Structure formats: C-alpha cells, structure tokens
Structure 1
C-alpha cells in the first residue's frame, strides 16, 4: 500500500493561464513546487468531481514532458483520481487528447504543451486543462485555477508511486484505501480510427497512389520534429500508401531539433523551399502539438489560413462526416479575415465571430450551432473534437482535391473567382518589452475611441480609408451569455478593410504584439498580398506608432 504525503508550499506569482494554458520558460517550471502547485490547483478547481474520476494525460514530447507526467501520476493518485489514460512515453497530440476525452467520456485531461513555441532546456513548456467536452477550459475555470494558485498552501502526492509509461498496458496501485489505475495507451490508435470514420480513406488513397485517369499525387508533409510524426506515418504511409519520402522530420524531439515548430512561411521555410524546388503537388506542416497546419500547393503556392477555412466550408460535402451530418454553422476568430463570412451568407449558414482562443468555439459546438471553424493563426477544425486539428485539416484538403480534380492553386483561384478575395497579413513582434507594449495599447485605445476618430480618413499611396467603426472587441457567448472584454483593438473602414492589434496570450515571456491587416477585393484577386496591402500596412503602423513603442523596424514574422 502506498501512502499520501501532504507537502507544504508557497504560491508563485503569475500562474495565470493565457489563451490556452500556462506557458513559461522550462526553468520557471523547474522551480521547487512550481509545477506541483499548478497541477494541484487544476485538481482543486475540479474538487467536486475529482474523486473517482478518469483523466487523460499526454503532451507534445518537448523537454520536461516525461518528468511532469510522473508528477501528475503521483499527485492524481494522492487526490483520489481513479484512473489515468496516458499516451505511451507521455506522447499525445492535442487533438488526440480531445478525441480520447470525448470517446471515453472522461472528466477531462491535462495537456503538456507550449504548442508552437520552441522547446528545450532554455525554451518553453506549458500545462493546460481540457474539460469533459474535450476542449480547453473556459474562462471561469481558468480563473478559478489561477485564483487557487495565488493562495495555495499545500499539495498532496504519493512520492513512492513508480509507474512505467513506456509500455502499453494497465497498472494498478493501492493508494491508502483506494485503487488507482494507470493505463498506458497507444497514442495514435484512437485518433486514426476516428479519422477513418470522418474521411473516405480509399478515395484519398486513390488520389495519392494515382489511377489510370490520374498520375500519383505527390506530397511532402513536415512534422517539424513535433508530436504528429507517429500520427502522420501511420495515416499517410501505412493507411494511405504514400511513399516513405513523403514525410520529413517525423521523430518527436525534446527540442524540436533546435527549430521553431510553428507552421508558417518563416519557420517552415525548409518545407516551402523543398516544395518549390521539387516535384510536389501538395505540402503541409504541423506544429509541435499537432493542432496547427500550413497548406501549400505546387511551386509552394501558399494558402492563407483564412482562405483555407473558406475553401473547406465551401466544399464541406466532400468530407463524409459533413455529408452525413450537414454543416450547422461556421465561425472564425475576430482577427481572421472574413472570407468564410461570404461562404456562410451564400449557403445560409449561421456565422459567428469570436475572440482568439479555441475555447470560444466549444459552447457553440456543444449547442449544435457550429460545425466548422478556424483562426488566422494556422488553426482549422470542426466539431469532431474541441481543438483545432492539423492532421484533420490536411485530410480535409486532400478530400476536396480528390473530389474536384483541381490543384491547390486551381481550387483557390476558382474560389476567388466566385467570392472575391480577402487579402490578409499578420505581423508578429515577438518578445518585446511588456511595459511599452501595454502603454501602446492604452494610447491606441484612447485614440480610436475619442470623439471624431470615426469618420476620419487616412491616406497612403493611392488609397484613402475612412473609419467606419473603432473599438476594443468584446464578445457575449450566445449560449451561456458569458462576456469576454478587451479582446483586441479594431479599426474597420467603410470599404470593409480592417486593422486589428492585440497582445498575444501564447507567449512565455515578454509581450508578443500581433498586427492584422485585412482588405477585400471583389475582382482584383491575383496580386501579391504584401503588395496589395502595403498602403493599409503603412496606415496601421502610423496610427499605432508600433515601430516607436516596440523599438522594432520590422516584425519577427510576417504571415
């Protein structure tokens, strides 16, 4: 029999979850009791239902995941959790965690990830709690967790509990008067089984392998040394018959090979170059924990996340899951370009604009009002789980291409011809000094909400923009009526163009400033986005004084 020990501890400042969990530098989590405090606070926030419950545990394989998995086992055992479902070696993609929570109807899950942030001893780690619907904890839960961290005095642990997580199987422990079960599961199987229900794998396999009517479809998928490697190899190579060389960087590494596992044109430049210089019809990249995706076509033709969502919404019936269930509603985060809005209007679907953060889609999905959604930050997903899902997005694109027979570029050009085009870009200024950035946001909010700003005009190049609306975006959830305030500064012009500025909630240190520029053209749909948006970008930099406040002449990343 194993004994529970109560350990006295002291609170740490700043354990406030951001957009999706608590993210800090690894060395912060290595402080004495820092990680234990946060895990105990997660369990205490669920104190009414934690005893006798089942939780899912897994992460993206980054540095510190294995060590924290063992701490979670010891603390959960001490707090009366009945069973843990843990991915082998602590590995589970974020979408897979959501899938498993929902499939086995667990109380929730603890996900160990800092998503697209770099890994390694000198980089980032993260912990977040997902609820019983499989989605990130809503604001009321994360606020409760944070409140508990501010006055925690002790945590419970079973120090002598030793559990092997490298072998699949069930292990049973007696903790004082309770049975405690840890089941180590194949991290891939449940997710792959679900994808085979959602998509027509034989049809996608025919696309990839070719037929008498069509040559083989050549693709290159970059797992960026993150968690998706095992999922991608099982699905695309074992199930769909793609050649071994179709997948790169498919072994999860604790430091992601020293790279930044964020699937965009800057950090996935190796994939872009390989597709541009090679004989490939399709390219995809996924981030560290598998919830983000980038899609490119032949010659590295880039699909913006806003356009990707709109195209998948337009062609949803190509996916058997939607053909069976129908599409109830569509949604996007506020900074995301409004391309999908036009698809919703044409097809008579309910359309939602929510704050940044996948948790805001969950209530709509649970209420049966939302089927397909996305964020400009390379997140696309549906109500099959309650997280964005990178591998799902790639399979959805292949389903569209297998049905239409068009190329990636041909698909986008046909879409623009029908709907017009939203030119979109995002400028990221990473790890800036926090105080000047907060001052900038305060000054800009004061400026745009002052009398006379609405109706004023700004000119750059041959363009003049007249302000129609300016505010700090707020959102009332139509299901539970909860309100999220101050979600980003918006300037909307009379022609529909938009400037959005917000501080990101996914960084681990300093401030990350995100500037979003969105402009719609009904007919002129072939120009380069940066060139087409140059006048509006200059207006945005001038109004915000972003260069002056950040001290940066240029952004860290341009999307």
Structure 2
C-alpha cells in the first residue's frame, strides 16, 4: 500500500482488497489509540465505485473492534461532504473510499485530519509503513451488525448541514432572481443528488445527464476533461442553456461548458472565479495555485495588487499555502478549488455554486466574462502529454534533466529551474515547461505553457529530447 498526493489508490483485486483495507484501518486505529483520541471517533464515507460500500463496512468493523466510535455515513457521499463532516464532528480521522477521477478498475482511500485537511506526507508515510507490516492476525474487528446494535457504530447524515454551509458562501437571492438554466453531468458519480438540491433551491432550471449509478462510469474515467464531456457540450448547445457543469467521480473537482457548448479550460475557470470574487464581490486576498496551473493567475493577482503563491502538486499544499498567506482562492488545473473560510479541501459543489453566482451577479455569459478577463491577463496556452512511466524512468530522467538543462531551451532563455515537484524550467514571458511523475498514476506528465500551442509543442519536444524520451 502506497499513499500518493491524493491518498491511497490501487487496482481492485490487486492492491485494493478488503484484506488491505482492514490492515490500513488497523494502522489508523493504532495511531488514534496512541494519541488517546478514541473518544473523537472516526467518520467514514464512500462513493459509487465497485467495492466502495464493502470497503467502508470492513473499515467500520475494524474501528469498532478497537473500541473507536464510528460515524458511518448511510449512502454514497461527495468527498467534500466528508471533509466538512470530519471538521464539524472533529473526528480523529475522516475517511472516504474513492479513487476520485481514476479509471473504473481503481479504488482507494482519502484520509482527513480533524481539520478536514488531507494528512501531510509524514503522517501518511508512518501509517503506510505500519499498515504494510501488519498481518491479518494483527487486525481486530467485530461484525458490523454487532457494532450497530451496541451503538459504537452510528449512521448519521450531514447532507443538509453541508448544503446549508455551501449556500451560505454565495448570494442565493441573486441566483434565484437570475432564472438560470443549467445542465449538470455528475459523470455517474456521487455529485448528482447534492448538485440537484443546491441548484433547485437556487431556482435554476436543471437538466441532469449521466446521473444513474454505474460503477464503470460509462466505460471511461470519471474525470471532467474535454474528451469526456461531448454529451454535456451537446446538451448545453442544443438546449440553449446558460452553462453546463460536470463534477468528477467523487465531486471534488469541476469543469464547465459555456453557453455556446464550448469547453472552458479549467485554468480559465479559475481566472473567472478569482475575478468574480475579487472584482465583483470585492473580497480581498491573493491566490494559491500548484506549479502545473496557469501563470495567468499570477498576472490577474498582480492586476489587483495581490500575491500569487506556487506550491507542489497536491491540494494539501494549496490549503497550507492559503492558510499561510490568508489567500482568497486556491485552485489547481485539474479542477479542484476552495475559497477562504470554506473547507480545507477541494469542492466541486462549491465550484458549481460560485459559477451560477458569477453569472447571476454579472448578467453576462461565460464567454463574455472570459473575454473580459483575458483583456487583463492576455492569453497563455497549456499543452500536456502523459507517458507511461517505469520505476527506472524515475531515476534516469531527473539525472538527465539535471545534466541537460542549460542556459537555453530551443530559442528560449532559461530564467530559473525549480525542483519543488519534478523539474520546472521557467522561461521569459511567463513561459515554462514542467516534467514530473504523477502521484496518483504510473505516468510521467510533461506540460508546457506558452503564448501559443505551437510554442508549447516545441517546448515539449525540446524537454523530451533532453530527458531522452522518444518522440512518436
């Protein structure tokens, strides 16, 4: 069992098994007992993936067997709701069984601290090490029915409290007055019910697609990327809707489609929301982004006289940066975001609420708002390639980059090289090229940002040559 940037993820039937779930839960229970935190209990949620409900039951049985009270949520639940409930209840740990946007053959686990933030690397390293040294004979558990009868396992719901909290962050009266027409695509995941209630209470007209339970997610990864949202684009365009919104499998990420049926790059979505919060709502504060997210956010923050902070990939680093700098918005190019005063984790449901508030307050279309923001920031484009990675590549490629990156990449002058997370080469005019290994999948990601897509492809070609990666 290995924790990455977004928790533990593995292929079902290989790394992800009920036996491993029990061992990992026992390690978490041991940590709670060592801290004397038993009375705080554990909170458990799960998504719609295959085996998620069974894994959550197995987890509850182990905590109960260790005499640790369990709040076991009664239905498939968005990850942001688990984050919220963990902090509200001050549980020793909050857990949600999900593999987020990974392909259907994966499952996994995210673990949250009392604050609702993801555990930091040192704690996950310790738990991972202990779990991997435990055997089946070290696991203490009782049957779930026994735990329910003895009331050490309870089945509370936090759905209404969570929705009340999200609604408190936006101007519901303005949204109700706007009469917006929306399409939502939960991608067969857990966002359906929560989004429908939120938008219905906001008096939006709501059409839902891909809302049924399908653990195969329609045969693709439940990631709200351009290639996965053709149906949402068509629904918005053909139905004359104001906006389409998609959440990933566990509803902590969001993507949107504009009124013309065009996909809005998530980097542009972050620009729109920061502009809305800072300009329209008049909220002060900077922005925190990870190093694979657009530097147009730096330009927009500078326009407002605010700070933009860069962090490693992993939303826990964004949260830490927001807390350190009292930032207004934190976001990443994969669709995760949160705002100051909200949960210490990414939230696609909140993202949807902010999008409809933005449209209601401005009275403009998404495309018109984006043109307005680009008039301030100018345009930068990002192109990314993903390459299957081997363990040997993790050793060889960083060595080649250390030796091969000099004063020039092609015609571009190298301004600086960062090894904060992978290797990021910064060039003039906010251009850059980043090469890093994913923390959630066995892939190498190569990303370039430049003033045109052609320049991006050129930069990717240069860095691949330096790294010794063959170009197809």
Would you say same fold, with TM above 0.5? yes
Alpha-carbon distance between aligned partners in 2 of 1:261 and 1:287, rounded to the nearest angstrom: 5
Q: 1:191-223 CA distances to partner (integer Å, 9 max, x unpaired)? A: 21111211122211222x2xxxxxxx3221101
- State the partner residue of 2:464: 544
Asked whether the 8 Å contact 2:436–2:444 carries over to 1, the reply is: yes
- State the partner residue of 1:162: 145
Is 2:48 the partner of 1:61?
yes
- State the partner residue of 1:222: 185
Is 2:106 the partner of 1:150?
no
Asked whether the 8 Å contact 1:327–1:372 carries over to 2, the reply is: no
- State the partner residue of 2:209: 248
Point out where structure 2 has 5 or more consecutive residues left out of the alignment: none
For residues 63-142 of structure 1, the aligned pairs below 5 Å read 63-82=50-69, 84-89=70-75, 91-119=76-104, 123-142=105-124
- Using a 3 Å threshold, how does the CA distance of structure 1 residues 516 and 151 change in structure 2: closer, same or farther? same
Alpha-carbon distance between aligned partners in 2 of 1:286 and 1:80, rounded to the nearest angstrom: 36
- State the partner residue of 1:512: 443
Q: CA shift at 1:116, angstroms?
A: 0.4
Which residue among 298, 307, 324 is the counterpart of 1:350? 307
Which residue among 489, 497, 502 is the counterpart of 2:436? 502
- Using a 3 Å threshold, how does the CA distance of structure 1 residues 240 and 546 change in structure 2: closer, same or farther? farther
Asked whether the 8 Å contact 1:333–1:375 carries over to 2, the reply is: yes
**Which has the larger share of strand?**
1
Q: 1:371-407 CA distances to partner (integer Å, 9 max, x unpaired)? A: 3111111222223011111121121121111111111
Alpha-carbon distance between aligned partners in 2 of 1:43 and 1:371, rounded to the nearest angstrom: 35
TM-score scaled by structure 2?
A: 0.92
Q: CA shift at 1:232, angstroms?
A: 1.3
Asked whether the 8 Å contact 1:330–1:372 carries over to 2, the reply is: yes
Alpha-carbon distance between aligned partners in 2 of 1:351 and 1:266, rounded to the nearest angstrom: 30
What secondary structure does 1:340 align onto?
A: helix
- State the partner residue of 2:371: 413
- State the partner residue of 2:453: 533
- State the partner residue of 2:225: 264
Q: CA shift at 1:419, angstroms?
A: 2.3
Moved more, 346-355 or 59-68: 346-355
Asked whether the 8 Å contact 2:318–2:331 carries over to 1, the reply is: no
- State the partner residue of 1:467: 414
Point out where structure 1 has 5 or more consecutive residues left out of the alignment: 1-14, 165-170, 174-179, 210-216, 459-463, 475-486, 521-531, 554-559
Is 2:401 the partner of 1:445?
yes
Q: 1:457-497 CA distances to partner (integer Å, 9 max, x unpaired)? A: 41xxxxx322222242x2xxxxxxxxxxxx12111112321
- State the partner residue of 1:288: 249
Asked whether the 8 Å contact 1:108–1:133 carries over to 2, the reply is: no
Which residue among 472, 489, 499 is the counterpart of 2:423? 489
Asked whether the 8 Å contact 2:43–2:71 carries over to 1, the reply is: yes
- Structure with greater Cα Rg: 1
Is 2:175 the partner of 1:204?
yes
Q: 1:351-373 CA distances to partner (integer Å, 9 max, x unpaired)? A: 31110001112334445623311
Alpha-carbon distance between aligned partners in 2 of 1:223 and 1:552, rounded to the nearest angstrom: 36
What secondary structure does 1:134 align onto?
A: coil
* RMSD (Å) for aligned C-alpha atoms: 2.4
Alpha-carbon distance between aligned partners in 2 of 1:242 and 1:270, rounded to the nearest angstrom: 20
Alpha-carbon distance between aligned partners in 2 of 1:255 and 1:144, rounded to the nearest angstrom: 33
TM-score scaled by structure 1?
A: 0.78
Is 2:351 the partner of 1:369?
no
**Which has the larger share of helix?**
2
Which residue among 224, 229, 240 is the counterpart of 1:279? 240
Asked whether the 8 Å contact 2:409–2:462 carries over to 1, the reply is: no
- Using a 3 Å threshold, how does the CA distance of structure 1 residues 195 and 219 change in structure 2: closer, same or farther? same
Moved more, 329-338 or 196-205: 196-205
Is 2:390 the partner of 1:434?
yes
